[in-house]
Amino acid sequence: MLYELHALQRRWLRPIAGLSRLNAELLRLAPGGLGRPAAAGWELLQRITKDHPRPAFAIDSVVAHGRPVAVREEVVTHTPWCRLVRFARRSDDPRVAERLAADPRVLLCAPLSGHFATLLRDTVRSLAADHDVYVTDWSDAREVPLSAGFFGLDDYVLHLERFLRALGPRRTHVVAVCQPAVPALAAAARMASAGQPTPASLVLMGGPVDGRISPTQVNRLATERPLTWFEKHLIHRVPAGFPGEGRRVYPGFLQLAAFVSMNPRRHFASYRDYWLDRVRGRDDEAAAHERFYDEYNAVLDMDALYYLETVRLVFQEHALARGTWQVAGELVRPADLRDTALLTVEGAEDDITGAGQTHATHDLCSGLPDAARQRLTVPGAGHYGIFSGGRWRASIYPQIREFVRAHDPTSAGGHSS
């Protein structure tokens, strides 16, 4: 019933959002800025009541090898649950095109934890300057018909294995941001255990590999209640009007409410400042607010099986860290990794993934030589700051770029395939 009420509310609010936008535009035409305060109020109301659909990556070009190059999204392969999207770069200059073709290949594993893969837009744009980038673009579960079956944590791992085999694992570097650090490590470990080629490198960023270390509010929320509480209070069925009608999901709107509740004062202040910026004519600041919240408020539904398995296996049982996790009936053994370089990245001010939770990967991957390991703790960086923003672009990304180059089989100094 809750999901049905939410869908009905959204239908009621759409005319209000449209009227608010129209009123704001009309008031902006008043001479001498007399209509600006009233327009700002209507603009704020429009921001609060509008829908937030899946955003676009909107990356049309990057500067690569000192020259602007065109970028086009290409779907390499897909399932009902995920599209593997390549950010293909093109140049009419033969010398630049040759260098683009020689750049390292990166599989960027996007989180499936509320937001769309476009949350990594800044990450993609940086990586695409120096790499051939592929991104896991996960589906909104309410758009997946029941006939497609269900999606669990095992399926995330199996998707990554499928994508790695399609790309060629020895030529591919895996970068996993936040939650997918766990399934990315599992995918590489399973391939090693099976005697298959493994990725050239793993870059795990702010991921809860061992949530027993420095538990945060997120860890505590997951452990202070039994799994039955999450299933009873957070799982709902997709209502009529969506392709996934009848599917059990953790709805995006509840996830967004949880995100906001972690720091409501900050969000209230942000919307207050947005109104003041509009009143005072600071349109650049207001536009920055709009860009951020168009992304932040765009959320997807997660299949109930995936969400509940993640809570149980990752946050309650710590199955990967304890060595008890089985995927498709086989034990996940990170110690079997031998030929994959490992870089772990943590933000010193991360309040979502606690200090040491990602670096714990090194203890699990005991079969890797010391020369193939690197830890990076970023002073002053919070959770989002390790993959977007000025600190990411200025200090974190350059170190990832150098790490990938150092361990790329086609680059000078890289290991052989």
pLDDT tens digits along 355-401: 999 999 999 999 999 999 999 999 999 999 999 999 999 999 999 99
Percent of the chain with pLDDT over 70: 98
Coil, strand or helix: which one is 198?
coil
Query: 303 and 248 in contact (C-beta within 8 Å)?
Result: yes
Domain borders along the chain are 2-51+252-296, 61-225+302-406
pLDDT at 114: 86
Decide: 286 and 332 in contact? Cβ < 8 Å: no
Q: Is the dihedral of CA 357, 170, 116, 275 positive or negative?
A: positive
pLDDT confidence tier of residue 42, bands split at 50, 70 and 90: very high
- The yes-or-no verdict on residue 412 having pLDDT over 60 is no
The Cα–Cα gap between 315 and 300 comes to 21
pLDDT digits (tens, 9 = 90+) for 182-226: 999 999 999 999 999 999 999 999 999 999 999 998 899 899 999
Nearest Cα neighbor of 191 from 303, 300, 394, 328 is 328
| Per-residue model confidence as pLDDT tens digits over 121-140 | 999 999 999 999 999 999 99
Tens-digit pLDDT profile for residues 73-89: 999 999 999 999 999 99
8 Å CB contact between 209 and 348: no
Tell me how far apart the alpha carbons of residues 371 and 368 are, in angstroms, rounded to a whole number: 8
Strand partners, 103: none
d(CA 358, CA 252): 26
pLDDT at residue 32, as a whole number: 66
**DSSP sequence for 207-263:** --TTTTSS--HHHHHHHSS-HHHHHHHH-EE--TTSTTTT-EEE-HHHHHHHHHHTS
Class of domain 61-225+302-406: alpha beta
Sequence-separated (6 or more) residues with CB below 8 Å from residue 223:
215, 315, 316
pLDDT over threshold 80, residue 56: yes
Beta-carbon-side half-sphere exposure of residue 380 (alpha carbons within 13 Å): 6
Q: With bands split at pLDDT 50, 70 and 90, how would you rate the model's confidence at 404?
A: very high
Q: Where does the pLDDT of residue 96 fall: very low under 50, low under 70, confident under 90, or very high at 90 and above?
A: very high
In tens, the pLDDT along 217-257 reads 889 989 999 999 999 999 999 999 999 999 999 999 998 88
Between 34 and 202, name the one with better pLDDT: 202
Q: Which of 115, 139, 141 is nearest to 237 (CA)?
A: 141
Residue 28 confidence class, pLDDT cut points 50, 70, 90: confident
Q: Is 162 exposed, middle or buried (0-12, 13-18, 19+ CB in 10 A)?
A: middle
Which contiguous run of DSSP H or E holds residue 86? strand 82-90
Instruction: Enumerate residues 6+ apart whose C-beta is below 8 A from 221.
Output: none
- The two tokens of residue 377 are 């703790």
Handedness of CA 189, 191, 197, 199 (dihedral sign): negative
Say if residue 94's pLDDT is above 80. Answer: yes
pLDDT value for 417: 34
Q: Is the torsion defined by CA of 93, 96, 101, 102 positive or negative? A: positive
